[in-house]
A and B are shown apart, each in its own frame.
Chain A
């Protein structure tokens, strides 16, 4: 069966520091991969999605970037974090053809 791993679970970073969050999927090949941010009391906002290695689509302009160096690895990065980057970041995967997305356990990011 497929599993998705996301780390770290929590992270506290100072303003201006870099960021790297990692997500890996097991048990499937060529998944669609997604990064979401969930602000308190709000729904999930799609940040990036990827349909293959090196293929990244950005949904909203922001201080973050994403990369997919391997088929089942998705990385969310920032060179310099802002206070507004605080939130709960979720990685998800899906198969093709409009199948449901399945989420990792998330990373709670606090910026000080």
Chain B
């Protein structure tokens, strides 16, 4: 079974530019999460999709961040315009949904550097 994949693995952009990160969850997983770790800090939750709906977006830092999950499959996270403090590692995770244990499976992350 393929795991959670993220693209790109690395991105270096200049302040003010736009970057779009993509996450492909494990097939059949209804829940999709975005997290990030900025330099020297702990991993922080950004938002949670259930299928194509945003269940919880309490962690989104500001309106420069836009997440979508059209069709309930893959998700994109767009940062526009990027700022220096957006540099960090962005993780995506997915879980199956339904009752019972909800183990979240994480992707390898996208390393974003804003210059």
The answer to whether A and B interact is no
